[in-house]
Amino acid sequence: MPEDAIEEYPLVTDDDIDPTFVQRVSATPGGEHLLDCYACGTCSASCPVRAIDDEFNPRRIIRMALLGLKDEVLQSDFIWFCTGCYICQERCPQDVRITELMMAFRNVATQEGYPHPTVAIIADTVAKHGIIMEIGEFENEKRVKAGLPPRNVPEDVHRGILESTGLTETLKKAKPRPTKDADGGDA
Ligand code: SF4
Ligand code: SF4
């Protein structure tokens, strides 16, 4: 094997494997069907994100999870690339429910201190406006024209609701993310 190939696909050691990871994901809502994957590759072949970025590979992410490569999965940007289009989920012959599985990976990653930086930005917008978009004069004028009252809920109400979910505290404990993503590769 050429040396550059070894560098691209580093060897996995016992230290990289967490044997409890499969159970952890399987016990998370959305992850219940992880063990049913038989690696056919239909998900990767169907995925529109993979069509424009061949580094994104749902089958490979699932294989890594099944091998117990917890850090590699949870610190990966790829689990955040899924657009939630459900194409893979509709085509998977094993009903792995990949779209929901990706959400399970994201939730476990966030609990373990590896939320994607966009989560903090979205949480801040929700805290300020109550939804994931800014509500300003323009939006309120359109609401009034449509016969709706302008949205003007005080920020502390939204922040209080967000804090009650535990997300604010979880985001405070976020760990530094690795600068280089290690996964990708062939389907
Ligand atoms: S389509 Fe389903 S069974 Fe096939 S690799 Fe993807 S998740 Fe696994
Ligand atoms: S739901 Fe996500 S992983 Fe599945 S095809 Fe769509 S973008 Fe790809």
Q: Is 44 exposed, middle or buried (0-12, 13-18, 19+ CB in 10 A)?
A: buried
Whether 126 maps to a domain, the answer reads yes
Q: Measuring from atom 2 of ligand 2, which residue has the nearest CA?
A: 82
Flag whether 184 is in a domain. no
Position 187 scores a pLDDT of 45
Q: Give pTM, 2 decimals.
A: 0.84
Query: Which domain, by its residues, includes 65?
Result: 3-111
Please list every protein residue whose CB sits less than 6 Å from any atom of ligand 1: 37-43, 59, 62, 92-94, 96, 98
Instruction: Evaluate whether residue 182 is within a structural domain.
Output: no
CATH code at position 67: 1.10.1060.10
User: Is 106 in the same domain as 133?
Assistant: no
- Name the helix (H) or strand (E) containing 88: helix 87-91
Do 106 and 30 reside in the same domain of the chain?
yes
Query: Which residue out of 44, 87, 92, 100 has the highest number of ligand 2 atoms within 8 Å of its CB and is therefore the one to mutate?
Result: 87
15/102 same-domain check: yes
- Do the beta carbons of residue 100 and residue 89 sit within 8 Å? yes
Residue 183 CA neighbour count, 13 Å, CB half: 25
Same domain for 28 and 47: yes
Are residues 36 and 58 both part of a single domain?
Answer: yes
12 and 97 part of one domain: yes
Residue 84: what pLDDT?
96
- Amino acid 46 reads S
**pLDDT tens for the 187 residues of the chain, in order:** 555 555 566 677 888 899 999 999 999 999 999 999 999 999 999 999 999 999 999 999 999 999 999 999 999 999 999 999 999 999 999 999 999 999 999 999 999 999 999 999 999 999 888 888 888 899 999 999 999 999 888 888 989 999 999 999 999 999 987 765 544 444 4
Binding-site residues, ligand 2, Cβ < 6 A = 43, 46-49, 58, 82-88, 98-99, 102
Place of tokens 């038989």: 38
Q: How many CA atoms lie within 13 A of 112 on its CB side?
A: 18
**Half-sphere exposure at residue 23, Cβ-oriented, CA atoms within 13 angstroms:** 3
